Amino acid sequence: AYFTLQVIYARRKHKISPPETTGHPEFERIFRAQVNCSEYFPIFISLLWVAGIFFHQGVASVGGLLYLYTRYKYFHGYAVAAQGRLGPLYASARLLWLLLGLAVAGLLAHFL
C-alpha cells in the first residue's frame, strides 16, 4: 500500500493522470519500482507461507521482515536513480532464495 501511495503522490506531483504510465523520469522510476514489487509479492508470500508452516515460523518471519526491508530500500533507491535499485535487488533475491531453501527443506523433512 505504501508503494501505491507513492505512485499516487508522484502522479499528482508531475500531473500524470491514469492510465498514463509515462512522463517525468522520476514518476516512471517510482511507477516501475511499484510494479516490480507487486510482481514479486505473490512469490514472496507463497515462499513465506510454506517456509513458515513446514520449516519454522520464527526463521521464516525474520527472513520475511528482511525481505520487506530490502524491497523498501529497493523502492527508494530506484526512485532516486535506476542504478540505486541494484544492491537491494540482489539482497532481496538472495532472501527469496533463502526462503525457497527453507520451504524445500521443510517440505522434504515433512514428507520424507
Q: Give the catalytic positions in this structure.
A: 12, 85
Closest CA to 99 of 46, 41, 37: 46
Burial per residue of 26-60, b for 16 or more beta-carbon CB atoms within 10 angstroms, e otherwise? ebbbbbbbbebbeebeeebeebbebbbebbeeeeb
Q: Which three cell numbers stand for residue 45?
A: 508470500
